[in-house]
Homo-oligomer: A and B are copies of this chain.
Amino acid sequence: MFLRKDSHISRSEGFTAHTRVLVSVDQRHVMATLYQIEDGFIAANEVGLSEAAWRLLGIQDGDRIRIRHAPTVESLSLVRSRIYGRELDDDALQAIITDIVKGRYSTIEISAFITTCATRPLSRREICALTRAMVASGERLHWDDMIVADKHSVGGLPGNRTTPIVVAIAAALGLTMPKTSSRAITSPAGTADTMEVLAPVSLSEEQIRAVVVRERGCIVWGGAVDLSPADDILIRIERALDLDSEGQMIASVLSKKIAAGATHLVIDMPVGPTAKVRSAAEARNLTEGLTGAAAAFGIKLKVVRGDGNQPIGRGIGPALEARDVLSVLKCEADAPSDLRDRALVLAGALLELTGKAAPGQGPAMAATTLDSGQAWAKFQRICEAQGGMRTPPQSLHRKTLTAPCSGTITIMDNRRLARLAKLAGAPEDPAAGLDMQVRMSERVEAGAPLCTVHAETPGELAYALSYADANPDIIAVRA
């Protein structure tokens, strides 16, 4: 909230910069952080509010509002008690998460909660209590089936778009797999962004239910159904801090899956120096933590480790990744084999975990379903059920980057490749992104194509290319 420093209310209430205030209209309230301004845009008897506050208060320009010091948020004393050494129980974490979801914590306070839970790691009991509180913070889907399959990827590599393929295979074999996915926050595409170029993904709970009743599976945007909203809030601050603590990662993953009604869960865990999970030891700890916590909620869970050293597939960006997915589903001759292989391993693990396949037979069963065209047919029916299949858009402006000399590809910098794709316009422009033409360790001749930049406007293409010019080692060729 913006308020003039010299306004009557600012002076008499003793508001200072960053004061937490309660803004009220009738029975609706919003807690806000105060920014003081000295002159300019607003009058002394006016305030400025964020778009979110306007929506929550349901007000119009010119309405009268009430402002006062925000009441004490009682659960903050629980956060302080944890900082001072106490372990938090179910009730405490419930109170904290409820207040966070209701918008009663400032970002500074959320940061303190996250940091204390990372500095003195959450105990097993705290992880379960946090998970339970996060599930209770939002909606929950219930299914009649005894087995509800799900998958999750820890720290996606660019282009690692196995989900639509896994869902198509699982649903084709009769597994119930109502998959809710996220949109990109800092990456060039989330699974929901990629799927959206192929079919509508913003479905209501009733619409999701209708799709799943008819086709067993779906691939929709989780944000439309409010599953574990606490997770979205915490993740935003964790990302700002670049902080991943094991306990919070476990609660984050499980709360979303429990809220979605999953009973059997396969976790895709790429391990590599630039992936989220960096070492075998870290992978082992996280696997133990996930398995233990999942068991406490009656969920069967299997972690499938993978190579986290390279991107998967060729496209980076919604439409280009969707093209790879279609290519694998259609079993085209030049489909990216790494994407196909990874999808089969994950689908196979899910088939074994749910008892659809005998131990060791999962990947073969998945391959048969894919090669027979059943997965492709199922995927098309899912798209129709979600509102109609779409053709991915094509970019209008392209430029191919070429090898400056003959040699071997020694570096493919995933982080900067993602940045380049975003500069080109992904994911807002779904056709924008990168199309990779080489893989690590491949030999190339001078002038050979390395990757093609796709953009919707000449301006964005130029912007991305100037970044590529300034960073010639994003894809490095050693003679």
Residues of A that sit less than 8 Å from B by CB: 8, 11-14, 16, 18, 38, 41, 51, 76, 80, 82-84, 106-112, 114-116, 118-120, 185-186, 236-237, 240-243, 245, 419, 422-423, 425, 428, 459-460, 463
Q: Which residue of B lies closest to A241 (CB)?
A: B112
Contact, CB under 8 Å: A463 / B428:
no
Report how far A428 CA is from B425 CA in the complex, Å.
50
Among B80, B112, B242, B460, which residue has its beta carbon within 8 angstroms of that of A76? B242
Which residues does chain B contribute within 8 Å of A115, judged by CB atoms? 83, 111-112, 115-116, 119
Number of identical monomers bound together in the oligomeric complex: 2
Max count, chain B CB within 10 A of own CB: residue among A106, A185, A428 = A106
A189 CB to closest chain B CB (Å) equals 12
User: Which of B76, B108, B240, B243 is A237 in contact with, Cβ under 8 Å?
Assistant: B108
In the A-B complex, list the 7 residue pairs whose CB atoms are closest, starting with the nearest: A115-B115, A111-B111, A119-B119, A14-B422, A112-B115, A108-B111, A116-B119
What are 29 of the A-B contact pairs (CB < 8 Å)? A11-B425, A11-B428, A11-B460, A12-B425, A12-B459, A12-B460, A12-B463, A13-B423, A14-B422, A18-B236, A41-B41, A76-B242, A83-B115, A83-B118, A83-B119, A106-B240, A107-B107, A107-B108, A107-B111, A108-B108, A108-B111, A109-B240, A109-B241, A111-B112, A111-B115, A112-B112, A112-B241, A116-B116, A116-B119
Is A112 a contact partner of B109 (Cβ separation < 8 A)? no
Q: In the assembled complex, which residues on chain B have CB atoms less than 8 Å from the CB atom of A245?
A: 83
B116 near A459 with CB under 8 A, answer no
Question: Which residues of chain B are within 8 angstroms of A51 by Cβ–Cβ distance?
Answer: 38
Residue numbers in B under 8 Å from A425 (CB-CB) = 11-12
Given contacts A11-B460, A83-B243, A109-B241, 6 further A-B contacts (CB under 8 A): A11-B425, A12-B425, A12-B460, A16-B185, A18-B236, A112-B115
